[in-house]
Structure 1
Amino acid sequence: MPKFNYNQLITQFQDFRQKIYNCFESCSDACMNLLDALAGNTGANSIAELSLNPLFPRSYNSIYKAISESFNTTSQDTSNKVEEAEEEKDNLIRVISELIDQPQKRPFYLFATDTTPHPRPYAKTLAERGYIYQPNTIKGNKPINIGHSYSILSILPEKKNANAAPWSIPISGERVSLDKSSVEVGSEQIQALMCDSSLHWHEKLCVLVADSAYSQRSFLFEQSKHQNLVIVARCRSNRIFYQSPPVEESKKKRGCPKKYGERFDLADAETWHLPDETTQTQQTTRKGRLLNITILAWHQMLMRGTKEQKMYRHPFTLIRVHVTDNTGNSVWKPMWLIVIGNQRQQISATVAYQSFRQRFDIEHMFRFCKQHLLMTEFQTPDVKHEENWIRLVMLAYAQLWASKDLATHLPRPWERYLKPESDTIMTPSAVQRDFQRIISEIGTPARSPKTRGNSIGRVQGQAQTQRTKHPIVKKQSKPTPDKQKAA
């Protein structure tokens, strides 16, 4: 890389860090040091151990003050403070969005949304704990736990090649409250993102990839209102859809026209009509295994709606993906995808499948944040402090993405076979190893700490009040009338 380009990258990274620093109105110095220590963490297993990092030149109690004041909403004038905190989060989203270049190979920005568990089974004084979904590795155990869930909306950057490192830059993270579902929170995040005119993807073609939980009618109906958004969501293999009704001009009858055509049962191949599009392609895995991919697409498909959610006005493309090996055996179960949106014709079946495959990068991000950025290690009885910590972890991950072009490959002894110039090795873990050197060379906008002396502590005889213990709340399922139930 030429020296001029390298210096330009340093300048861009410094500008990005300065903008983050300016977003914090309180304890900005401690917050910036905490972000650096977190992004450059290679050995700390707890939050307090981050104070031992050379990038955090403060005492350990400054960590907890930085967390509590980073997105502070506790004040006498609560309404104004909440508005300031929301504006602070919006400013951070705008700063992170500047890291994403305009796609060159594909004509759209790619987003992904999902929910990750934050288990807190023993935090009896933590409010609003409920039963959450958490996968369990032990066969036969129920995949549930007690704690909170967080809905994360991230942007998936364009890859230079198919085997590039999995990056998923989080831009919005909200806790799923007890009175809402993860799908409802995700819908609100997308609504805020699409309506923000200051973001450079405003009114440009955007694609959102999501798992089967987001293929339900209520979510797709709300997102179909955005003119520039296309949803690619996986759906269960037991769903029932319908063809568009045939148009018969010669046999017009009085009354409401027919809205649904023939039944299309995903589990019954006899109900399938001939696909409108058939594509066959091949893919080579990283280990050199050749896979044959058959993609079938049916256009103008419909799903049942309700009186309020008229889904017959929002047709979609139904895609079936079947992957086999050289012997013709299925590699895994055939996958069904829904492509819905006003501009879905611009997304081919092959592009929709490739975009959905990149959705799994958000799973890599969740795993990295929990294993290396201590995402679920902050044990606090305050819900707001926990939410602040989740957002700080997201910012630390964004810092790693912003500095990946400045990082040097530092292979482990068993990784020396990797080529230093390869784009596949610049993973979040590889950047994290070299992050301390990068910050030591370019500096930090945070000011050096000043010695304050020792605190006088509590007055003799003063007793702290015990924290209130909160019960575990179980969400009640919303009853759906039989007439509104849809497959």
Structure 2
Amino acid sequence: MSLLHHGARQEALPQLSRFRGEFYECLTARSDALFELADAVLCGNGPVRSLPELSLVGEHRRGHGGLYAAVARGGMDAARLRRALAAVPLPRAADGRLVLAVDVTCWLRPDAHTSPQRILCHTYGRGKDQYIPVPGWPYSIVCALESGRSSWTAPLDALRLAPGDDAATVTAGQLRELVERLIAAGQWRQGDLDILVVADAGYDAPRLAHLLRDLPVQILARMRSDRVLRRPAPPRQPHTMGRPPRHGGEFVFGQEDTWGIPDTETVTETRLYGTARARSWDRLHPKLTHRSSWATAEGTLPIIEGTVIRLDIDRLPSGATPKPVWLWWSATGTDPAGVDRLWQAYLRRFDIEHTFRLFKQTLGWTCPKIRTPEAADRWTWLILAAYTQLRLARPLAADLRRPWEKPAAADRLTPARVRRDFRHIRPSTACPAGAPKPSRPGPGRPPGRKNTQPTPRHDVHTVRKTDAAKPKSKKPTTPRPRRTG
């Protein structure tokens, strides 16, 4: 064992015990049952399939009735838990900055007719590889990303989107509160590089940059390939009449003759993608109009300049035909080395998909048939706290591999492999939960008596009828570029 790894082990155990104690303090009602429920998630053999099976794990000393009651009627101080997650050691990029990835993942509940606040969530791959809306609870999750090849992230916040929420506004508020917590926790100090927020094409990157312009934050997001941006307005010529123009010529993503000479161009050889060619154009902005999310804006709309990066690769690991990737960065004036760091940081965004898959397939985030959204939020925060304990226990875990698995170095264990050894790590950490008290179950409803208070049923929130009744215009045969922001 190297001295560096030995030092990491010595620091990891106090940090893990400290977080477990802070997590217990965040539980305000039925704290012992909720804390042992998180331990059961971490110490169970195999993936979590249902809540009752967790009551059979040895670390959970209570029955399945207390487990259900803790999830349904327990209490949790989410604000304090958010501060605790922001205070733990976070991974950094190669240049030392914090890189945050934000994305929405859905807890699908198509048959939960008694669950309120369900929204139609878009899913891919159901049926004939089509986008099919399925009722569920969408959650916006923010994670800190590591550098290099890794399936680890650091979840920092989770927020359920309520019906009628504007994704850009809600995400901007979520990121603002998170950045303020990171600054208060000392994760960012004056003089550090700005925090980089990486997002996919579903987010309005210029609007996020505009809403977070007073914070040390930079936005890097993918844009659709049919977008049209504008160049800066040309200088006003003397003796010219009329109002000066606010926008310059068009930059059409799908028309190469409008691009011009790129400001930077780099060629990099990669192991997974072959030759990666990145070109960037500086000071490009969308032409905003008083529609969509800018409909309520008053006065002159802002000009939000940024840098556009086009990434072309030779191949994909899946064997599919690669397509060019268009990125928009909310800052200007970068060099070729900075462009390489930006597109590499965007590719690290896909690590958050590994975290979502672990949440759902291993930790059982979407397995319980929870009725109320408040209980779903409680269970979601419990899963985030459990994953954080896995990340803090990473230097302490041994490689308990299966006979058909390849050996892995101590610093290359996946979250699933760390979970296999958490049962042996747990006795060395703080376990503040008290022993269960003996109790007798209630009598319940007398046999033969019908339920006189049936659970109310709730409809799925969809588009209003007034909007759906409007006649839709016929789509053109050839797609037209999007010329607005």
TM-score between the two structures when normalised by the length of structure 2: 0.86
**Structure 1 residue 352 and structure 2 residue 342: aligned?**
yes
What is the root-mean-square deviation of aligned Cα atoms in Å? 2.9
**Structure 1 residue 185 and structure 2 residue 170: aligned?**
yes
CA–CA separation in structure 2 for the residues paired with 1:132 and 1:19: 34
Maintained 8 Å contact 2:307/2:331 = no
Structure 2 unpaired stretches of 5+: 291-296, 471-481
Maintained 8 Å contact 2:229/2:483 = no
In structure 1, the residue matched to 2:418 is 431
In structure 1, the residue matched to 2:186 is 200
CA–CA separation in structure 1 for the residues paired with 2:324 and 2:451: 63
In structure 2, the residue matched to 1:475 is 463
Q: Give 1:97 deviation, angstroms.
A: 1.9
Matched letter for residue 260 of structure 1 = H
| Post-superposition CA distance 1:117-137 (Å, at most 9, x none) | 111111111112232111124
In structure 2, the residue matched to 1:214 is 203
Matched letter for residue 364 of structure 2 = L
Maintained 8 Å contact 1:294/1:321 = yes
CA 124–101 in structure 1, closer or farther in 2 if over 3 Å, else same:
closer
In structure 2, the residue matched to 1:111 is 100
The residue correspondences of 1:57-456 to structure 2 (distance < 5 A) are 57-71=61-75, 88-101=77-90, 103=92, 105-139=94-128, 141-156=130-145, 158-159=146-147, 162-163=148-149, 165-196=150-181, 197-202=183-188, 204=192, 205-215=194-204, 217-223=206-212, 225-248=213-236, 251=238, 253=240, 256-285=243-272, 291-306=274-289, 308=297, 312-324=302-314, 332-341=322-331, 348-415=338-405, 417-421=406-410, 423-424=411-412, 426-456=413-443
Maintained 8 Å contact 1:215/1:234 = no
CA–CA separation in structure 1 for the residues paired with 2:383 and 2:11: 26
Q: Give 1:380 deviation, angstroms.
A: 2.2
Matched letter for residue 16 of structure 2 = F
CA 266–431 in structure 1, closer or farther in 2 if over 3 Å, else same:
same
Q: Give 1:174 deviation, angstroms.
A: 1.3
Maintained 8 Å contact 2:107/2:366 = yes
CA 401–104 in structure 1, closer or farther in 2 if over 3 Å, else same:
same
Maintained 8 Å contact 1:259/1:312 = no
**Superposed structure 1 runs of 4+ greater than 6 Å apart:** 342-347
| Post-superposition CA distance 1:417-459 (Å, at most 9, x none) | 33434x33x1111111111111134351211212123434446
In structure 2, the residue matched to 1:466 is 454
Maintained 8 Å contact 1:194/1:226 = no
Maintained 8 Å contact 2:208/2:219 = no
Aligned pair count?
A: 454
Greater mean deviation of Cα atoms: 204-213 or 347-356: 347-356
CA–CA separation in structure 1 for the residues paired with 2:337 and 2:445: 64
In structure 2, the residue matched to 1:40 is 43
Q: Give 1:143 deviation, angstroms.
A: 2.4
Matched letter for residue 245 of structure 1 = A
Maintained 8 Å contact 1:231/1:339 = yes
**Secondary structure of 2:203 counterpart:** helix
Greater mean deviation of Cα atoms: 45-54 or 131-140: 131-140
CA 109–41 in structure 1, closer or farther in 2 if over 3 Å, else same:
same
CA–CA separation in structure 2 for the residues paired with 1:189 and 1:155: 14
Matched letter for residue 484 of structure 2 = A
CA 9–325 in structure 1, closer or farther in 2 if over 3 Å, else same:
closer
**Secondary structure of 2:326 counterpart:** strand
CA–CA separation in structure 2 for the residues paired with 1:455 and 1:251: 88
CA 332–104 in structure 1, closer or farther in 2 if over 3 Å, else same:
closer
Maintained 8 Å contact 1:303/1:311 = no
Structure 1 unpaired stretches of 5+: 73-87
CA–CA separation in structure 1 for the residues paired with 2:18 and 2:434: 16
CA–CA separation in structure 2 for the residues paired with 1:394 and 1:283: 33
**Secondary structure of 1:136 counterpart:** strand
CA–CA separation in structure 2 for the residues paired with 1:234 and 1:104: 19
| Post-superposition CA distance 1:198-233 (Å, at most 9, x none) | 23235651000000011355334323x234100000
| Post-superposition CA distance 1:327-371 (Å, at most 9, x none) | xx9951010000004897898211110111110011111111000
Maintained 8 Å contact 1:323/1:330 = no
CA–CA separation in structure 2 for the residues paired with 1:210 and 1:360: 10
**Secondary structure of 1:150 counterpart:** strand
CA 151–4 in structure 1, closer or farther in 2 if over 3 Å, else same:
closer
In structure 2, the residue matched to 1:85 is none
CA–CA separation in structure 2 for the residues paired with 1:330 and 1:447: 54
CA–CA separation in structure 1 for the residues paired with 2:453 and 2:29: 27
CA–CA separation in structure 2 for the residues paired with 1:230 and 1:344: 13
Matched letter for residue 14 of structure 1 = S
Maintained 8 Å contact 2:390/2:415 = yes
CA–CA separation in structure 2 for the residues paired with 1:271 and 1:369: 44
Maintained 8 Å contact 1:42/1:432 = no
TM-score between the two structures when normalised by the length of structure 1: 0.85
| Post-superposition CA distance 1:179-205 (Å, at most 9, x none) | 114333222211211234523235651
In structure 1, the residue matched to 2:475 is none
Maintained 8 Å contact 2:209/2:218 = no
Maintained 8 Å contact 2:397/2:421 = yes
CA 199–68 in structure 1, closer or farther in 2 if over 3 Å, else same:
farther
